[in-house]
Amino acid sequence: MVLRLGLLLCVGLPLVLATCQIGWTEYKEDCIWFSQGKKSWNDAEADCRSKTAWLLSDDSQDKHDFLATILNVLRGRGIAEWFIGATDYTFEGSFRWLETGGPLTFTKWAPGQPNGTTVENCLTLKWVDRELLWEDEKCSSRGKRANNNNHTHVHHTHPPPMGMYYYICETRNGDHNSGPVFG
Ligand SMILES: [Ca+2]
Ligand SMILES: [Ca+2]
């Protein structure tokens, strides 16, 4: 899938890939990476951090449209929901971006969302009809042992456990070796 996506990105979008590492997609000053497996939000966040990155901020219409172009292709493969980098775990109802700690000024909530109260504290990007929108979702599959294989099968014989989603990491051009400051 990486190869096909890479090919698609090279052919289908006017990208300059020179300043992002291989496997990352350039958007303005950012480099963006799409997971090939599902994790809980915390594990996804840790995986991004291990790449000197963070879970993505979807903080402008232009960036959202850019993401929609790519995610629409992956949607065709059955990958339709992604964790991104905001949570209201600390203060219920007050989502904050991981990247900046700031509130969500640009928003893309699906109708009726967020609706998860203290049960759903993690932000997902999700296709609702033909629109890519936000929903709050469970951050992990609590209580159940997640099926933790790394296969990227698109078709599941059983639905995936709630709270396990694909995810999107983001970093700045050239930041791979310097490291962002967290906390
Ligand atoms: Ca919540
Ligand atoms: Ca929700």
Task: State in Å: Cα 181 to ligand 2 middle.
Answer: 30
Average confidence (pLDDT) over 57-77:
97
Ligand closest to the CA atom of residue 139: 1
- Residue 114 preceded by cis peptide, ω within 30: yes
Distance, CA of 152 to CA of 134 (rounded, Å): 23
Predicted confidence (pLDDT) at residue 74 exceeds the cutoff of 70:
yes
Task: State in Å: Cα 118 to ligand 1 middle.
Answer: 4
Task: State in Å: Cα 86 to ligand 2 middle.
Answer: 13
Length of the chain equals 183
Distance, CA of 84 to CA of 141 (rounded, Å): 17
For residue 136, give the H/E element and its range. strand 131-137
Task: State in Å: Cα 129 to ligand 1 middle.
Answer: 23
Sequence-separated (6 or more) residues with CB below 8 Å from residue 136: 88, 95, 113, 114, 115, 116, 120, 121, 122, 123, 124
Task: State in Å: Cα 27 to ligand 2 middle.
Answer: 28
Segment 3-38, tens digit of pLDDT: 555 555 544 454 544 589 999 999 999 999 999 999
CATH class of 24-141+162-171: alpha beta
Count the neighbouring beta carbons within 10 Å of the beta carbon of residue 89: 15
Segment 81-118, tens digit of pLDDT: 999 999 999 999 999 999 999 999 999 999 999 999 99
Q: Which residues surround ligand 2, an ion (CB under 5 A)?
A: 115-116, 120, 135-136
What's the pLDDT score for residue 53?
98
Ligand closest to the CA atom of residue 133: 2
DSSP 165: B
Ligand closest to the CA atom of residue 118: 1
